[in-house]
Amino acid sequence: MGVIELPVEDTKENLNVCMDNCGTCPSLPFPPQPYLFCARGKSSQKIERKGCKCPACPVYIENNLEGLYFCESGKAH
Ligand code: SF4
Ligand code: SF4
């Protein structure tokens, strides 16, 4: 039996955590919109890959996420 992977929840708490991570990321203009890319999907902004802070984000760790640049690739899972 594999681990059941639930979608990342689009909550105010997760948004606040994301603001500390995506909100200080050099890969997107500020403010990165719409934030919480792992839950909401990709950004329509111009992305320049200058690093992705997601692996250090508590939302990433709590949800056992994999991969980088959800702002570019879209929702996790
Ligand atoms: S998803 Fe990754 S690359 Fe994109 S803004 Fe957030 S931390 Fe930066
Ligand atoms: S994993 Fe990345 S996109 Fe998701 S909340 Fe954390 S910093 Fe934002």
Per residue in 12-39, pLDDT tens?
999 999 999 999 999 999 999 999 999 9
Residue 8: predicted pLDDT: 97
The owner of tokens 């991969």 is 67
CA 47–ligand 2 middle distance (angstroms): 15
**Residue of 14, 50, 69 best suited for mutating to test ligand 1, as the one with most atoms within 8 Å of CB:** 69
Q: What is the pLDDT of residue 13?
A: 98
What's the burial of 14, exposed, middle or buried (CB within 10 Å: 0-12/13-18/19+)?
buried
Q: With bands split at pLDDT 50, 70 and 90, how would you rate the model's confidence at 77?
A: confident
Q: Which residues of 25-34 are buried (b: 16+ CB within 10 A; e: fewer)?
A: bebbeeebeb
Q: What is the pLDDT of residues 31-75, one digit of tens each?
A: 999 999 999 999 999 999 999 999 999 999 999 999 999 999 999
